[in-house]
Amino acid sequence: MTVVRVDDGQVWTEDSVAIAQPPTGRQLRDSYLHEIQDLTLGLVRGHANALYLGPLELLRFGAATVTDSGVEWPIEGGITARAPGGSFRIEASRGRLVASVDGYRPRLPLLLYAVSQLPVHRLLTRLYLLRVRGREPAPGAVAAARQDRIRAAAVDVAFCLTLAGLAGRRRRLPALLGIAGAYHIACWSISGRTLGGLVTNQRVVAVDGSRPTVMQSAVRFLALPLAWVTRRAVHDELAGTDVVVHKDT
């Protein structure tokens, strides 16, 4: 669940995932900067309460306030902040792990911020929350069998190839890539089910059982070649997703 609100140049965001075994505030404090570095493959690194991209200090936090169930950092500066102010908080509450930004003042104009920095922040925050939660299946979820996942992929590939064939031979490969990307990302983020998923009665979910976001679905699609090469579900590991048997409600 993600909530975004903007008022008078300040931004409030909140995202949360279901969690059975909540971490302590100390564990959250100690893991955040390290996990962000791992999630960005080292492009963004954490050092001394700040996030860096190369030599650039992206965001600087003040001293953390730690409680039994959460941690909160005041936002003090960095090139992505227009002015000091606001805070970033991670807290376990009522069976959910919640990350929220309160009163952040982005340096970018709000429209540009909304289409660039904000989606990246939301993606990394959600992947961090899901990583802290762990890959234990959500209650009642049943993992789809490997052969059914292969069958679903075959149906989806055939469907995308058919659509790409309508574009003509000269543009078939670009059309195939565009169609496959749009098709999979839209299906996963709207319902979790592609045509192949409908045939095999399975769907893609975030590991806490929630619907994948558009950015999660994009990461999953872009990582598919890694899964084919390694012959394991690397795309699900990177995107914080899983494939489960669909249950009609």
- Same-domain pairing of 129 and 8: yes
Classify residue 86: in a domain, yes or no. yes
Which of residues 88, 108, 133 is at a domain's end? Answer: 133
- Give the pLDDT of residue 249: 53
Segment 102-127, tens digit of pLDDT: 999 999 999 999 999 999 999 999 99
Query: In this structure, is residue 50 part of a structural domain?
Result: yes
Q: Is the dihedral of CA 219, 15, 132, 153 positive or negative?
A: negative
158 and 228 in a single domain? The answer is yes
Same domain membership, residue 231 and residue 196: yes
Q: Is residue 138 part of a domain?
A: no
Whether 141 maps to a domain, the answer reads: no
Q: Is there a single domain that holds both residue 169 and residue 82?
A: no
Q: Within this chain, do residues 25 and 127 fall inside the same structural domain, yes or no?
A: yes
Cβ-proximal residues to 86 (8 Å cutoff; 6+ apart), any chain: 10, 11, 74, 75, 101, 102, 103, 104, 105
Asked if 246 and 201 touch (Cβ cutoff 8 Å), the reply is yes
Residue 140 lies in a domain: no
160 in the same domain as 37: no
Show the domain range for 171.
Answer: 146-245
Q: Which residues of the chain have pLDDT under 50?
A: none
Distances (CA, A) of 49 to 28, 34, 58, 130, 157: 13, 11, 11, 22, 45
Q: What are the CA-CA distances from residue 193 to residues 57, 198, 243 (Å)?
A: 40, 6, 10
pLDDT at 165: 84
Residue 14 sits in the same domain as residue 69:
yes
107 in a structural domain = yes
Last residue of a domain, one of 133, 154, 177: 133
Q: What is the CATH number of the domain that holds 92?
A: 3.30.530
Judged on CB neighbours under 10 Å (0-12, 13-18, 19+), 194 is buried
The span from the CA of 132 to the CA of 135, in Å, is 9
Domain boundary among 104, 133, 162: 133
How much is the pLDDT for 169? 67
SS (HEC) of the chain: CEEEEEECCEEEEEEEEECCCCCCHHHHHHHHHHHHHHHCCCCEEEECCEEEECCEEEEEECCCEECCCEEEEEEEECCCECCCCCEEEEEEECCEEEEEEEEECECCCHHHHHHCHHHHHHHHHHHHHHHHHCCCCCCCCCECCHHHHHHHHHHHHHHHHHHHHCCCCCCHHHHHHHHHHHHHHHHHHHCCCCHHHHHHCEEEEECCCCCCCHHHHHHHHHCHHHHHHHCCCHHHHHHCEEEEECCCC
Number of structural domains in the chain: 2
My answer on whether 14 and 52 are in the same domain is yes
20 and 129, same domain (yes or no): yes
| Any domain includes 139 | no
